[in-house]
Amino acid sequence: MPGPDQNSLANRIRNIPPVTRFFTISTVVICIITSLNVIQPSALVCDLKLLLEKVDFVNNTFKQGSISQRVYAIGYLIFQCHRFFSAFLLPLGILMAKPFEAILDIYFFYTFANHLESREGKFRGNFPDCLWFTLVTGTIIVLLTLSYQFFYDSSHFFVHHQMMLSCVTYLWSRSLKNSIINFLGLVPIKAYYLPLFNLFFKLIVNGYPSFMDTLVGIWGGYLYQCIQSDTLPIYNLFPGAYARYLSGETNPGGRRVGTLFPGDHSPSFDDFIGDSIFDKGHLKAPVWLYGVLSYPINSSMRTTAFYPRPQAGRASTINISSSTPINTNGPAASNESSGSSTGSSWFSGGNPAFKGKGRRLGD
C-alpha cells in the first residue's frame, strides 16, 4: 500500500491547476528523455529553416515520388506540426547543457503560471480561459518568431519555453503590480518592474538572443492584453488615449486609487501603480472549447476595458495585499492567502500585510 508521503505527493500534484500541471510535467519529461538522448532537441524545436526544409522535402516528393511516397510525405508534414507545441516544452538550460538553469526555468514557470491559474489569480481557476490564454499567446509567439526570422534574421534561434516563461511572468506582474518581490533574492522591487529587470538580466547573462526571447514573450503577453481589453496596440500606451470612452463611467468607485476590482478598496500608497487601460477586461474562451472540456460556460464573463463586469456578476471578492513581499529565488515561506488547496504559492516572505487605518484619500 502507498505510504502517507506518496498520498501527500499525489494530492499536491492533483491540486496543481490543470494547465500548469500539464506544462510542468510535460517539460520535466521532455528534459529527461532529451538528457538520456532518447530524442534529440533538434526534433522538437520550431525554427524557420527546419520548417522550410520539411516543406521542400514534401514538394520534391510530390514532384518525383510515387503515390505511396506522396501519402507518406503528407503524413510526415502533418507530424512535423508537433514542433509548434513541443518547442514550448524545451527549456534553454537543456539546449545549453546547463541542467540547473533548466530546473530554475521550470520552477519559475510553475510558480507564476500556478499563481495565474489558481482561484486567487487572474483566471480564478477557470480551466478553459487559462487554456485559451495559452493557445492565444502561444500562437502569437510562434507568428512573431517566424516573422522575425523571415523578414529580419533567419539565423536567430528562438527558445519558445523562455518566451512563454517571459509571457507568463509579464502577465503575473501586471496582475500584482504593487507586490514587493526580491529580484534574485537580493533586490526588493515592485512586481511591476520584474519584466524590465528580467529583460536586462538576460541581456547581461546570456546576450542578445536571450534578450530577444524575453522581449518577444513580453510582447506576446502585451498583445494578449490588447485583445482582452479591446484596445489598439501602441495607441493604448499613450496617456488618456481612451479617456473620452471612459469619461461616462457609472461606477466611480472602480476608478479610485488602490482598487483591484470595482467596489474593492485596498490600502492606498503614494507610489501605488494603478491599472492601465489594457490591463482591464477578461478574455473568455470560445464556446466550443467549453464544450470540449465539459466545463460550465457561465463560470466567467467576457469583459473589455469599456464593458466591465457587472457589480452583481462577481461571485466573490479577493483582497490581495499590495505590500506582501515575494521572493523569486526560492520557495514560499508562508501562505498569506486563503484557498491554499489549489496548490497556489503566494510567495509570501513572512511579513504581515499592511492593514491600513480604514480611511479614504482626502480624509
- Per-residue pLDDT band for 29 (boundaries 50, 70, 90) equals very high
Task: Give the per-residue SS3 of 147-185.
Answer: HHHHHCCCCCCCCHHHHHHHHHHHHHHHHCCCCEEEECC
Torsion angle, alpha carbons of 210, 197, 179, 106, to 10: 20
Q: Is 110 exposed, middle or buried (0-12, 13-18, 19+ CB in 10 A)?
A: buried
Work out whether strand 187-190 and strand 180-183 pair parallel, antiparallel, or are unpaired. antiparallel
Report if residue 52 sits inside a domain: no
The number of distinct structural domains making up the chain is: 1
Does residue 78 lie within any of the structural domains?
A: no
Least confident of 242-246, 341-345, 358-362: 341-345
Concatenated DSSP letters of 179-233: -EEEETTTEEEEGGGHHHHHHHHHHHHH-HHHHHHHHHHHHHHHHHHHHHHT--T
Residue 81's CB is within 10 A of a number of other CB atoms, namely 12
Q: For residue 51, which of 157, 132, 134, 133 has the smallest C-alpha distance?
A: 157
Task: For residues 226 and 224, give the distance between their C-alpha atoms in angstroms, rounded to a whole number.
Answer: 5
CA distance 71 to 66: 9
140 within domain boundaries = yes
164 in a domain, yes or no? yes
User: Is 156 within 8 Å of 148 (Cβ atoms)?
Assistant: yes
Asked if residues 339 and 316 have their Cβ atoms less than 8 Å apart, the reply is: no
What amino acid occupies position 178? N
The predicted structure's pLDDT at residue 323: 36
pLDDT reported for residue 315: 40
Structure-block grid coordinates of residue 86:
513541443
The number of angstroms, rounded, from the C-alpha of 36 to the middle of its chain's C-alpha atoms is 29
Rg (CA), the chain: 22
C-alpha–C-alpha distance, residues 209 and 15, integer Å:
36
pLDDT digits (tens, 9 = 90+) for 134-167: 999 999 999 999 999 999 888 889 999 999 999 9
What pLDDT, on a 0 to 100 scale, did the predictor assign at position 296? 92
229 grid coordinates: 481589453
Note whether residue 294 is domain-resident.
yes
Whether 329 maps to a domain, the answer reads yes
Residue 57, domain member (yes or no):
no
In a domain, 162, yes or no: yes
Residue range of the domain that includes 275: 101-241+254-363
Higher confidence at residue 131 or residue 262?
Answer: 131
pLDDT at 178: 84
Q: Rounded CA gap, 26 and 262, in Å?
A: 38
Tens of pLDDT along 241-294? 787 776 554 443 333 333 333 334 344 455 777 788 888 889 999 999 999 999
In our burial notation (b when 16+ CB lie closer than 10 A, e otherwise), range 206-242 reads beebbbbbbbbbbbbbbbbbbbbbbbeeeebeeeebb
What pLDDT digit, counting tens, does each position of 39-64 carry? 998 889 998 998 888 889 888 888 88
